[in-house]
Amino acid sequence: MRHPQMVAAGRHYGCQVVSCVPYDPESKGGAEATVRIAKADLVPTDANLLAAYDTFAELADACLTWCDAVNSRRHRATGQIPADRLDIERTTLHVLPIEPLALALGEERLVGSDRTISFNAVRYSTPPGYTGSRVWCRVVGEELSITARTNSGDLSEIWRHELSTPGVPQIIDEHYPDHPDGRSIHQPRLRPRSEAEIAFVGIGPGAGRWLKEAGPAGATRIRAKMARAVELATVLGNDRVDQALGLAATAGRFADGDLLSILGHIADSKPAGEVVRADESHSVQNGTSGWQALGR
């Protein structure tokens, strides 16, 4: 008896599923030679040059290479090349359905509000735009293929994950472009309102970075430090102060005198081209002069 799902698949593609002896595909004449050749050429054995395949993808590539080789040579019985024979037979073959049978797409899953689906007790992330929609998941070798209906209305594979185990979710950061570093916490957006805030943010991107980092760091007297930075920018220029603010944000320095200290360091530092690099004539290694008195 055929499984109802296999019968449905055959009807979908306009063909009939013919069974062979269970667990013995070689008993079916049409598959006998294919199985025999696959065992000899593809499945690793002691007689083959290839001991094993590292991944299922390598096995799939080997199958494609083998099919290209077999279908490009002349068949012994018909005297024709299978690839050329197929072009003739295509004129009488019916057109396949545009969309595959849903069963072929895999198991259906619902994308949650966190843009993930659950498959075999493992959470897998999905690209943006599919929250609340249905997707289909199937295992392909060592990967999980996720298929969905795109904006154009077509069914298409939207992502592939490496298979994982429960407790080890597969979450891709690029699936959360609005969540920095994949975190589900939105970074605050700068919305300056007063003239003082607008003047400070106008110094440059370093000022905005300083303001975003100063809050979580628990910095105090932020408004006074912002006003001081604006005064320094008026005297020294926006570029220099913006650079110092960016360095302060990176180093986590938000004390009262930190900005002036960084500005002084920038002013005293030599350009990169004038930095002396250690070579054979410049060394910080202790000399051996201290050993001269040993043994005397």
* Distance set, CA 123 to CA 110, 139, 183 (Å): 12, 14, 15
Confidence of residue 275 (pLDDT cuts 50, 70, 90): very low
pTM: 0.46
Q: Kindly state the DSSP code that residue 8 receives in the 8-state scheme.
A: H
The DSSP annotation for 138-175 comes to EEETTEEEEEEE-TTS-EEEEEEEE---TT--B--GGG
Cβ neighbours of 61 (radius 10 Å): 12
- Phi-psi domain of 167 (left: phi exceeds 0; alpha: psi -120 through 50; beta: other): left
Helices (H) and strands (E) in the chain, counts: 10, 6
| pLDDT tens by residue, 112-159 | 988 999 999 999 999 999 999 999 999 988 899 999 988 888 888 999
What is the tens place of the pLDDT at every residue in 251-272? 888 888 888 888 888 877 655 4
CA dihedral 182, 187, 189, 190 (to 10 degrees): -130
196-229: pLDDT as tens digits: 888 888 888 888 888 888 877 788 888 888 888 8
- Count of residues in the chain: 296
Question: Could you report the per-residue pLDDT of 44-92, keeping only the tens digit for each?
Answer: 766 665 667 788 888 888 888 888 888 999 988 888 999 999 888 888 8
pLDDT value of residue 256: 83
Within 10 angstroms of residue 247's Cβ, the number of other Cβ atoms is 19
pLDDT of 177 over the 50 cut? yes
d(CA 173, CA 5): 37
- Under DSSP, is residue 215 helix (H, G, I), strand (E, B) or coil? coil
